Amino acid sequence: MNPHPKIAFDPTAAAPLIDPFGRAISYVRLSVTDRCDFRCVYCMSEHMQFLPRRDLLTLEELDRLCAVFIERGARKLRITGGEPLMRRDILSLFRLLSRHLVSGKLGELTLTTNGSQLERYAEALADCGVERVNVSLDTLDPERFRQLTRTGEHARVLAGVDAALRAGLAVKLNAVALKGVNETEFVELTRFAHGRGMDMTFIEVMPLGEIDGGERIDQYIPLSRVRERLAEQFTLDEIDYRTGGPARYMRVAETGGRVGFITPLSHNFCESCNRVRVTCTGTLYMCLGQEDAADLRAPLRADASDASLRAAIDAAILRKPKGHDFVIDRATRAPAVSRHMSTTGG
């Protein structure tokens, strides 16, 4: 029996958030921590300076924030980090948020994770109404995985994936395409995912934050090359399938599974962007690839009625840009934005 039966919800009852280009903001990606137990080479420096815990929104404040976005028409909420399952008492936030699934106001509550804690939390997440999770897995080679993550345990992530599948969660694997690193694994990763009933999505490396030991131009592969590699082994068919995020999907005829492509550089997906990101400190980024942001923590703490918070969100959405300006080339050595992905939220 479904522990969270959904009540029919009338979306016209919500006053939607509309940006200057007529796009309804229906998808919020909320970071609950900037901390992570991995140090992936394309994501962050090996010796990161994480935020003091006192700077983070409390779980109760995160819940209030989500409630206001849901009130204004957000239908999809993705919890991210850092590694979100490292946040202390994180399940209490999922339990609080599950009431919006029951009411029907929220259509989907999902999670992006590196998988390291998933074996511990998978069943509890399912009990809270989570139906899908994204797991980052860039390689099937344990030694390469260690080199990429610096601190990660490959077997632990695979155990987490298995636990999620046993709990009935739909799992999508995400892999960042990295030149000279996992180029030979695109087909193998796809077969691995589809053999277990999971979607497989490839992502272009993004120019966010300073990294150690090289430049992102040395890591970057356009996903057109990934698609070419897959087409050598598979028949790829165009399909009309969307999850609400930026991925464009194709079906692999030989496996029956779906493969997605997220292309922020070679072919950006801004024209249909329905997303905003909120950091664990309450900073609202209207665009992943822009520095403009709005402080939601101050109004959240200043007004128990949420009136100031609503006004701050309304004003910020009116500044949402048409698109981002990601560039990776030899002439543009600095990252497009200075903050790391773990700070913004994955």
Report how far residue 132's alpha carbon sits from residue 112's, in angstroms, rounded to the nearest whole number: 9
Examine the pLDDT at 336 and tell me if it is beyond 90: no
Q: By percentage, how much of the chain surpasses pLDDT 70? A: 84
Beta bridge partners of 172: 134, 199
Q: Is 150 left (phi over 0), alpha (psi -120 to 50) or beta?
A: left
Beta-bridge partner residues of 202: 175, 261
In this predicted model, what pLDDT tens digit does every residue of 248-301 receive, in sequence order?
A: 999 999 999 999 999 866 555 577 789 999 999 999 999 877 788 999 999 999
- Residue 311 scores a pLDDT above 60: yes
Q: Quick one: fold of 11-344?
A: TIM Barrel (3.20.20)
Distance CA 152, CA 38 (A): 6
Amino acid letter, 70: I
Ordered alpha helix ranges (H), 257-320: 297-302, 307-317
- Measure the CA–CA gap between 229 and 223, rounded to whole angstroms: 10
* Highest-scoring range by mean pLDDT, 14-23, 28-37, 239-248: 28-37
> Given this model, what pLDDT does residue 3 score?
56
Residue 70 CA: distances (Å) to CA of 52, 108, 270, 311, 321: 28, 11, 22, 15, 22
Side chain identity at 261, as an amino acid letter? F
**What is the Rg, in whole angstroms, of the alpha carbon atoms belonging to the chain?**
19
Read off the pLDDT band of 328 (50, 70, 90): very low
Asked if 226 contacts 211 with a C-beta cutoff of 8 angstroms, the reply is: no
Whether 339 shows a pLDDT value over 90: the answer reads no
CA distance 293 to 195: 41
pLDDT single digits (tens) 112-126: 999 999 999 999 999
Q: Name beta bridge partners: 170.
A: 132
Output the pLDDT for position 144: 96
What three-state secondary structure class fits 115? coil
Give per-residue pLDDT as tens, 96-147. Answer: 999 999 999 999 999 999 999 999 999 999 999 999 999 999 999 999 999 9
Indicate whether 71 pLDDT > 80.
yes
Give residue-wise pLDDT tens across range 173-226: 999 999 999 999 999 999 999 999 999 999 988 754 444 445 556 778 889 999
> Using an 8 Å Cβ cutoff, are 324 and 287 in contact?
yes
Q: What does pLDDT average to over the chain?
A: 87
Q: Where are the domains of the chain?
A: 11-344
* 17 SS3 class: coil
Q: Looking at residue 317, what is its pLDDT?
A: 97
Q: Is the pLDDT of residue 84 over 70?
A: yes
In the predicted model, what is the mean pLDDT of residues 314-320? 95
What's the pLDDT at 343?
55
Bridge-based pairing state of the strands 199-204 and 27-31: unpaired
Here the tokens at position 221 are: 């592969």
CB atoms within 10 A of CB 267: 13
At 170, is the secondary structure helix, strand, or coil?
Answer: strand
What sign has the CA pseudo-torsion 52, 58, 62, 65? negative
Mean pLDDT of 167-173: 98
pLDDT band at 322 (very low <50, low <70, confident <90, very high): confident
Q: How confident is the model at residue 40 (pLDDT cuts 50, 70, 90)?
A: confident
The neighbour count for residue 160, using CB atoms within 10 Å, is 25
